[in-house]
Chains A and B, each alone.
Chain A
Amino acid sequence: MRFRPILSVVLTHTAQYLSFKEWIGILWYWMIGIVLYGLIGRSISSLTGNETTGIFLIITLIAIKPSVSRCAIEMPRAILEQSAGHALVATFATPITLSEWTIATMIMGLIGALIRWILGFVLLFLLFNISVMTYLWQLIIISPLLLMAGWTIGIYLSVLTYIIGKKSDSFIRLIAESFIVLCGVFYPIAMLPQPFRFIATQIPTTYIFEGLRAQITTGTSMWPYILTSMELNLLYLGIGIFALFLTFKHVKNRGLASLENK
């Protein structure tokens, strides 16, 4: 594993963050999302007479959205960008290995998530006067797990992209966003319609938010939930990495150029 190829991939892809237009896009959409969920939270707080429920809603949104959806999307997006620019074959014709490429895309996801986290918490304070410091230690505990979950989803989406090529573009956001809906970020999973509850119990992030909710509302320890989430995360990550290497080997044997032409 070498540092320089990883850095070069990261620098190539993060160059997009230097554009003013990109920043306006990120900031504006993120701000509208925060305003929307902040107001929904305020409305729920007034209905329940409990301010914590509203604050919990908006904080969990800021915690999950960048980590799960951004980390997950950044990895297959990098593959798609390379194949759209007919650069995938050229990239893997250099001495870069799949591990180095994967780590680079993970770092890109991390950078994207960090930018949105910082912006999110600053906006939260400016717009709703909610300080993240109140929940700082809980967020410090859950953020690595959320990032790990995001990377795991990203790896599976990368596998999908290697298999079906450019067609995966329309499914990537769809799949990544559905994890946010199913893992009970904004509500306990018992509120989900029956057919979705089983799926929810198999998602690592579900336990993070169930634990966080239990701790904030009833004072119960969140550690058993965190442990379950970590176990599931590690299991899926292990299987995902194995599937990624196997798929990549298969695609390489068939010819990477086939992905660029698909």
Chain B
Amino acid sequence: MISIQRIGAIVFRHLKTMYRISWLVEISYWTLLDAIIFGSLGKATTMLTDAGSNLGIVNALITNTIMWYVVLRCAITIGFCLLNELFDANLITLFATPLHKTEWIIGCIIPGSIAALINIFVGWLLALCFFGCNIFATGLPAFVALCSLLISGWILGLIIMCMVLFMGKKGTSWAFIIVWSLVPFSCVYYPIDVLPKAFQIFASCIPMSHVFIGLRELIMHGANPWPHLAISFILNAVYLVIAIVLFVVMFQRSKKNGLARLELEW
């Protein structure tokens, strides 16, 4: 039986240790830097295409750049929920309590989602202040895209956790390498046809790429984003199930080998 109280305790533990002013400054800073790079790049491109009044390129680039942070922030925060337990040598203690795996996963996903939402809010404010770009100007599709990206963030967060559980300390760097490697295939900054043919197939299997393609098409050409968003949700559902199964298998395996081995590495 899932206990809301136990989930609440896990969420509170992570929120309490994670959210400091320096954390807020850090997420705002990186979001601002990326917004400036791609906002300015979009403006420069617009000037070169003689489409001075058409701000589609700028808005699409800024929106996708900031939206990407939903995935990144959610995945990293979920990954850090496990890493924090390992740094504090708290994992064994945690599972000596009646806490269930499902409750723990939900307890890690919630702070990840909160962090992602704070990040997107900061990004929305910065884009509005510095570029006059409202990333939610498209209305409902933007919010649906946000939900799809949140689920992608959960999946990547679970994969980071799986790698840390499987490989221990070594898994941390590999996990972040994997997340970073998905950026070129997620089509955040360019359409899918820019990729070489072989990689286009791979990119079309990534749920994030459909979200970003849909958003870009909608912002730049007013195209219907729903087919892309629907595909992203279907892919997300499949990958989420796989990620949860993988996590359960890895956790059982790690428990069999001894969770203490993970804590001792740090």
Q: How far is the CA of A120 from the CA of B18 in the complex (A)?
A: 36
Q: How far is the CA of A57 from the CA of B38 in the complex (A)?
A: 12
**B226: A residues at CB distance < 8 A:** none
**What 4 pairs between A and B have smallest CB-CB spacing?**
A43-B190, A187-B44, A191-B40, A193-B130
Number of chain A interface residues as a range: 20 to 34
**A188: B residues at CB distance < 8 A:** 44
Query: Which of B40, B177, B184 interacts with A192 by CB under 8 Å?
Result: B40
Query: Which of B22, B33, B181 interacts with A170 by CB under 8 Å?
Result: B22
CB nearest neighbor in A for B36? A181
> What is the interface of chain A, defined by CB distance below 8 A to chain B?
21, 25, 28-29, 32, 35-36, 39-40, 42-44, 46-50, 53, 57, 170, 174, 177-178, 181-182, 184, 186-188, 191-193, 195-196
Chain B contact residues: helix, strand, loop or mixed = helix
Instruction: Write the nearest CB–CB distance from B118 to chain A, whole angstroms.
Output: 18
* B43 interface residue (CB < 8 Å to A): yes
Query: Which of A39, A192, A193 interacts with B189 by CB under 8 Å?
Result: A39
Q: How far is the CA of A43 from the CA of B195 in the complex (A)?
A: 9
Contacts A177-B33, A187-B44 known; 15 new A-B pairs at CB < 8 A: A32-B184, A39-B190, A39-B194, A39-B195, A40-B189, A42-B194, A43-B189, A43-B191, A44-B41, A47-B49, A57-B41, A186-B40, A187-B41, A193-B40, A193-B130
A53 touches B48 (CB 8 A): yes
B131 touches A44 (CB 8 A): no
Number of A-B contacts (CB under 8 A): 81
Instruction: Write the nearest CB–CB distance from A121 to chain B, whole angstroms.
Output: 19
Q: How far is the CA of A192 from the CA of B42 in the complex (A)?
A: 11
A32 touches B37 (CB 8 A): no
CB nearest neighbor in B for A174? B29
Instruction: Write the nearest CB–CB distance from B2 to chain A, whole angstroms.
Output: 37
Contacts known (A25-B173, A29-B180, A174-B26); A42 close to B40, Cβ less than 8 A = no
B181 touches A32 (CB 8 A): yes
**B181: A residues at CB distance < 8 A:** 28, 32
Query: Which of B33, B180, B191, B195 interacts with A181 by CB under 8 Å?
Result: B33
**B57: A residues at CB distance < 8 A:** 47
Q: How far is the CA of A188 from the CA of B48 in the complex (A)?
A: 12
**A29: B residues at CB distance < 8 A:** 177, 180
Contacts known (A174-B29, A178-B33, A193-B130); A42 close to B48, Cβ less than 8 A = no
Q: Which of B153-195 contact A (CB under 8 A)?
A: 173, 177, 180-181, 183-184, 189-191, 194-195
A40 touches B130 (CB 8 A): no
> Can you name 9 A-B pairs with beta carbons within 8 Å?
A28-B177, A32-B181, A32-B183, A36-B184, A42-B194, A48-B45, A182-B36, A186-B40, A193-B130
Contacts known (A28-B177, A32-B184, A170-B22); A181 close to B49, Cβ less than 8 A = no
Instruction: Write the nearest CB–CB distance from A173 to chain B, whole angstroms.
Output: 10
B43 touches A46 (CB 8 A): no
Instruction: Write the nearest CB–CB distance from B127 to chain A, whole angstroms.
Output: 10
**A174: B residues at CB distance < 8 A:** 26, 29-30
Q: How far is the CA of A194 from the CA of B182 in the complex (A)?
A: 33
Q: Which of B1-58 contact A (CB under 8 A)?
A: 22, 26, 29-30, 33, 36-37, 39-41, 43-45, 47-49, 57
**B39: A residues at CB distance < 8 A:** 193
Instruction: Write the nearest CB–CB distance from A193 to chain B, whole angstroms.
Output: 4
Q: How far is the CA of A35 from the CA of B188 in the complex (A)?
A: 13
**A40: B residues at CB distance < 8 A:** 41, 189-190
CB nearest neighbor in B for A37? B189
Instruction: Write the nearest CB–CB distance from B84 to chain A, whole angstroms.
Output: 16
Instruction: Write the nearest CB–CB distance from A82 to chain B, whole angstroms.
Output: 23
**B184: A residues at CB distance < 8 A:** 32, 35-36, 39
A186 touches B194 (CB 8 A): no
CB nearest neighbor in B for A42? B194
